């Protein structure tokens, strides 16, 4: 008849044996999964295109404006989309019809750029929306060539 102390030792030995066996089996499984055959590695290297589905970053053209009262506006343009950033808001807009200049709207706010100038106003059906920022002039790079 075993004593309680010897039974505890026996249980501990059995548990340690099972734990050791589990660690051994999992290390074999992990090493088998991570080791790729040389032919498979060469096949992956020969792939002409990346295999992930990550889209390339969108390329935006940036325009910085200084407006009345020293307000700053940055306009990013890509295809028919404009992102207009003020100190308080960022507006995502779509290009809309314009007889003169570039007009972008999100249905509530309108960015109108013409040449090196622009303005931001509320977009209303009659076109007389409240001016939010006016008198914007495109900032020229410091190293721009002078004519």
What's the first-to-final CA gap in the chain, in angstroms?
106
Distant-in-sequence, close-in-space partners of 130: CB < 8 Å, separation ≥ 6: 121, 122
Q: Identify any residues that bridge with 136 across adjacent strands, giving them in sequence order.
A: 118
Residues 29 and 65 in one domain: no
Asked if residue 51 is part of any domain, the answer here is no
CA 86, 88, 93, 95 torsion-angle sign: negative
Structural domain of 26: 1-33
> What is the token pair recorded at 146?
């002078």
For residue 64, give the H/E element and its range. strand 61-66
Residues 10 and 79 in one domain: no
Tell me the whole-structure pTM to 2 decimals: 0.57
- How many domains are contained in the chain? 2
Q: What is the pLDDT of residue 146?
A: 46
Pair type for strands 72-78 and 81-85:
antiparallel
CA 39, 41, 47, 51 torsion-angle sign: positive
Residues 66 and 113 in one domain: yes
Asked if residue 146 is part of any domain, the answer here is no
Q: What is the pLDDT of residue 143?
A: 53
Residues 65 and 127 in one domain: yes
> What is the token pair recorded at 36?
């790729």
pLDDT along the chain (147 residues), means of 10: 76 76 68 54 56 81 94 94 94 90 92 93 88 93 52
Asked if residue 131 is part of any domain, the answer here is yes
CB 87 within 8 A of CB 72: yes
Asked if residue 48 is part of any domain, the answer here is no
């Amino acid at each position: 008849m075993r004593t309680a102390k010897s039974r505890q030792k026996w249980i501990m030995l059995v548990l340690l044996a099972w734990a050791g066996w589990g660690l051994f089996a999992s290390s074999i499984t992990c090493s088998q999964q991570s080791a790729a055959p040389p032919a498979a590695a060469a096949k992956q290297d020969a792939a002409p295109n990346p295999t992930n589905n990550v889209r390339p970053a969108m390329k935006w053209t940036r325009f910085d404006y200084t407006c009345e009262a020293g307000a700053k506006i940055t306009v990013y343009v890509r295809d028919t989309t404009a992102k207009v950033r003020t100190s308080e808001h960022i507006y995502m807009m779509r290009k809309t019809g314009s007889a003169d200049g570039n007009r972008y709207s999100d249905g509530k706010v309108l960015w109108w750029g013409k040449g090196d100038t622009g303005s931001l106003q509320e977009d209303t059906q009659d076109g007389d929306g409240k001016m939010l920022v006016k008198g914007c002039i495109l900032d020229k790079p410091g190293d721009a060539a002078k004519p």
